[in-house]
Amino acid sequence: MLYDNHEVLFSLYSGSHLHGTNTPESDLDLRGAVWPLDQEIFGLKRFEQIEKTGAEDVVFYSLPFFIHLLVNKGNPNVHEWLWASEYEYMTEIGQEIISLRKSWLSGKVFACGLGYLNGQTKRMLHIASTRDLGDKRKKLVEKFGYDTKNAAHAVRIARELTELANTGILRVLRDDREELIAIRNGKLGIEQAQRLVVEETIKAEEALKLNKAGIRDRPDSEFADKWLVSAMKRHFN
């Protein structure tokens, strides 16, 4: 399978479709990883990602950049992709990446996830203007007095981090999806939403400190580097 002349390793729909909180009106966010072209590895041209908007919002990362985001950055969004219940497209190397999903984990995911959680919480409550928001978000803020979508994201992220620290599993298809949809739809008043976010954040912070799953503090960069070199050699040879 090709996308923009690049061979796709795997692809999936992320966001609400990944979490099971999608509705018929939900956006389609196609995500995944691709092989870089020969000239993007051996030539002067460098390539990190393909990004396009339209009927679908599309982001594909170059494999080396994808592994960098997983390991060096601990980006929780890309880690989520490896725990999906279904994929649109999958290759042998893509499946190999997924089979190693616990190997890519480290405390960087905790740190980055907490940063993302705090960012969602701030955006939920501190909205100086709706001018720069999309139409859907603007209507939510104007109707409920806060960004209910950010509130639902914050609750979900906090719970995912708690579960990851306790079990070593990133559960992205949510059992609590009906509750998350209700939060997103404004079923909680602003004070109730704020209280719930604070409670779930505290649980996450405590779970991360205990780290019952025993997730390593630092990423295994040596393993990641060796695997990436091996994968690139297999492909380009």
Q: What is the pTM of this model?
A: 0.93
* Residues 112 and 167 occupy one common structural domain: yes
Give the CATH number of the domain where residue 17 resides.
Answer: 3.30.460
What does the pLDDT read at residue 125?
76
pLDDT at 124: 85
pLDDT at 142 > cutoff 90: no
Under a CB-based contact definition with an 8 Å cutoff, are residues 216 and 110 in contact?
no
Mean pLDDT (the chain) is 94
Hey, what are 71's tokens?
A: 């390991």
In a shared domain, residues 74 and 20:
yes
How large is the average pLDDT for residues 18-37?
96
State the pLDDT confidence band at 31, using cuts at 50, 70 and 90: very high
Residue 164 in contact with residue 215, Cβ under 8 Å?
A: yes
Structure tokens at 102: 């616990």
Three-class SS of residue 21? Answer: coil
Burial call 97-132: b when 16+ CB within 10 Å, e when fewer: bbeeeebbbbbbbbebbbebbeebbebbbebeeeee
Count CB neighbours of 91 within 10 A: 16
Indicate whether 26 belongs to any domain.
Answer: yes
Residues 87 and 178 in one domain: no
pLDDT at residue 128, as a whole number: 52
150 band by pLDDT with thresholds 50, 70 and 90: very high
Q: Which pLDDT score, from 0 to 100, does residue 118 have?
A: 94
The answer to whether residue 216 is domain-embedded is no
Residues 89 and 149 grouped into a single domain: no
pLDDT at position 129 is 52
Residue 89 scores a pLDDT above 60 = yes
Indicate the range of 3-12, 96-105, 145-154, 164-173 predicted with least confidence.
145-154
Token readout for 94 is: 């893509």
Same domain for 111 and 99, yes or no, is no
Helix axes 177-184, 148-167, angle to 10 degrees: 150
Q: What is the pLDDT of residues 34-65, one digit of tens each?
A: 999 999 998 988 899 999 999 999 999 999 99
Determine the longest span between alpha carbons in the chain, in angstroms. Answer: 59
Strand, coil or helix: 46: coil
Compute the residue count for the chain.
237
Tens of pLDDT, residue by residue over 189-199, are 999 999 999 99
228 shares its domain with 206? no
Distant-in-sequence, close-in-space partners of 233: CB < 8 Å, separation ≥ 6: none
Claim to verify: residue 117 and residue 66 sit in the same structural domain: no
Position 139 scores a pLDDT of: 79
Beta-ladder partners of 59: 31, 51
Q: Judge whether residue 136 has pLDDT over 90.
A: no
**Domain residues for 115?**
107-210
Residue 62 lies in a domain: yes
Same domain, 124 and 204: yes
Same domain, 40 and 115: no
If asked whether residues 126 and 198 sit together in one domain, one would say yes
Count of structural domains, the chain: 2
The larger pLDDT score, comparing residue 129 to residue 10, is at 10
How would you write 149-182 as a 3-class SS string?
Answer: HHHHHHHHHHHHHHHHHHHCCCCCCCCCHHHHHH
Do 46 and 71 lie in a common domain?
yes
- What ranges in 52-175 are assigned the alpha helix state H? 63-68, 76-81, 92-99, 107-125, 135-144, 148-167
Residues 88 and 116 in one domain: no
